[in-house]
């Protein structure tokens, strides 16, 4: 008869003050609590400097699964929607088939994949919202947060020519990693703006807006004759940055649910494959103006990925999905 095992994982990261960097990193820790047949059997924790939330969650899962001996029915609880989606929606298998081309955290995904394929467990991954207030999950959270607050932790990522490269593995000829965009907390930070774009037919008529995350009040909005969803998200982020800089007001955080748009803003270049035509000429003029603004202006705003899996739809969402 298989054991019933629950693994509670909490990845924690104290963000650095290098807000204009290509990756938001900081001291990180992971906490893991393992319960077997209803009894707490093991606690694990560890930490790194210069790391991210997602990396700590992946390490925590890996270390927890390594401790389970014998075929078991395992449920892993964690907060990170990006990691859960990767493991439950078939993303990891797709990335493996494509050689993890242009994927983040390849070293850790490979290590976790070895653990997943080397046993006969039945494993499911679930969001921690239903166990958030349990003693076991709270203990995992405490372990992770304590570790992320320690000094002189071993280095996880290193900076090379202003880009971040994994220490643990080289992936072909392309050693650079994508910007890390899946930073998450238990709850969204309400002192922020969130943006969203909606496109009919994609490409097609597009609109975007910026919304106060706390009050849901629309701060700005714009309609475009023809664009793509990612271009709309890109323009919305830059619109928010430029608006607050012009007003001389502090803007701490912008949330977007578009990986591409956040990456383009950080690279100061809208790298769309959408081609310029007579009908979208105005959009490309706005795109050029946005790129020029990014190249000529400094900002201290954090631009973070909205954790849809954990928090639901972004407050700026148009509700047309």
Q: What is the pLDDT of residues 140-155, one digit of tens each?
A: 999 999 998 888 888 8
pLDDT-derived band at 52, boundaries 50, 70, 90 = confident
pLDDT of residue 17: 37
pLDDT-derived band at 108, boundaries 50, 70, 90 = very high
Point out the least confidently predicted range of 33-47, 64-78, 271-285.
271-285
Q: Considering only CA atoms, which of 178, 15, 196, 182 is closest in space to residue 84? A: 182
pTM over 0.85: no
Is residue 207 exposed (0-12), middle (13-18) or buried (19+ Cβ within 10 Å)? middle
Burial letters 76-95, b for 16+ CB under 10 A, else e = bbbbbbbbbbbbeeeebeeb
pLDDT-derived band at 321, boundaries 50, 70, 90 = low
Q: What is the pLDDT of residues 189-210, one digit of tens each?
A: 899 999 999 988 778 899 999 9
Give residues with Cβ within 8 angstroms of 255, minimum separation 6: 188, 192, 193, 194, 195, 213, 304, 305, 306, 314
pLDDT of residue 320: 65
Write the CA distances from 81 to 89, 128, 225, integer angstroms.
Answer: 11, 10, 34
Query: Pick the residue with more confidence: 87 or 321?
Result: 87
Average the pLDDT over 241-254 and give the result.
89
DSSP 131-200: TTTSHHHHHHHHHHHHHHT-SSPPB-EEEETTEEEESS---TT------------SS--SSSEEEEEEES
Q: What is the pLDDT of residues 79-107, one digit of tens each?
A: 988 899 999 999 999 998 988 887 888 88
pLDDT exceeds cutoff 80 at 171 = no
Q: Considering only CA atoms, which of 35, 42, 41 is closest in space to residue 74? A: 35
């Amino acid at each position: 008869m298989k054991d019933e095992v629950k693994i509670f994982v909490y990845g924690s990261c104290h963000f650095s003050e290098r807000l204009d960097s290509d990756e938001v990193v900081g001291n990180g820790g992971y906490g893991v609590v393992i319960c077997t047949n209803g009894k707490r059997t093991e606690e694990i924790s560890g930490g790194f400097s210069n790391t991210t939330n997602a990396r700590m969650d992946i390490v925590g899962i890996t270390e927890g699964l390594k401790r389970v001996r014998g075929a078991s029915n395992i449920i892993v609880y964690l907060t990170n929607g990006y990691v859960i989606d990767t493991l439950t929606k078939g993303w990891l298998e797709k990335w493996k088939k494509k050689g993890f081309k242009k994927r983040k955290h390849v070293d850790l995904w490979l290590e976790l994949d070895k653990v997943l394929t080397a046993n006969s467990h039945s494993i499911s991954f679930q969001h921690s919202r239903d166990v958030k207030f349990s003693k076991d999950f709270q203990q995992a959270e405490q372990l992770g947060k304590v570790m992320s607050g320690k000094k002189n932790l071993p280095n996880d990522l290193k900076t090379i020519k202003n880009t971040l490269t994994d220490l643990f593995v080289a992936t072909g000829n392309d050693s650079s990693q994508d910007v890390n965009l899946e930073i998450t907390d238990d709850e969204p930070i309400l002192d922020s703006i969130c943006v969203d774009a909606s496109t009919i037919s994609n490409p097609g008529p597009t609109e975007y807006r910026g919304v106060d995350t706390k009050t849901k009040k629309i701060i700005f909005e714009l309609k475009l004759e023809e664009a793509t969803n990612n271009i709309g998200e890109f323009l919305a982020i830059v619109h928010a940055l430029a608006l607050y800089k012009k007003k001389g007001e502090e803007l701490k955080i912008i949330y977007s649910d578009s990986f591409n748009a956040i990456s383009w803003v950080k690279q100061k270049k809208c790298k769309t494959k959408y081609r310029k035509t007579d009908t979208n000429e105005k959009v490309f003029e706005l795109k050029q103006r946005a790129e020029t603004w990014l190249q000529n202006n400094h900002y201290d705003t954090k631009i973070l990925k909205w954790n849809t899996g954990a928090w639901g739809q972004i407050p700026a969402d148009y509700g047309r999905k």
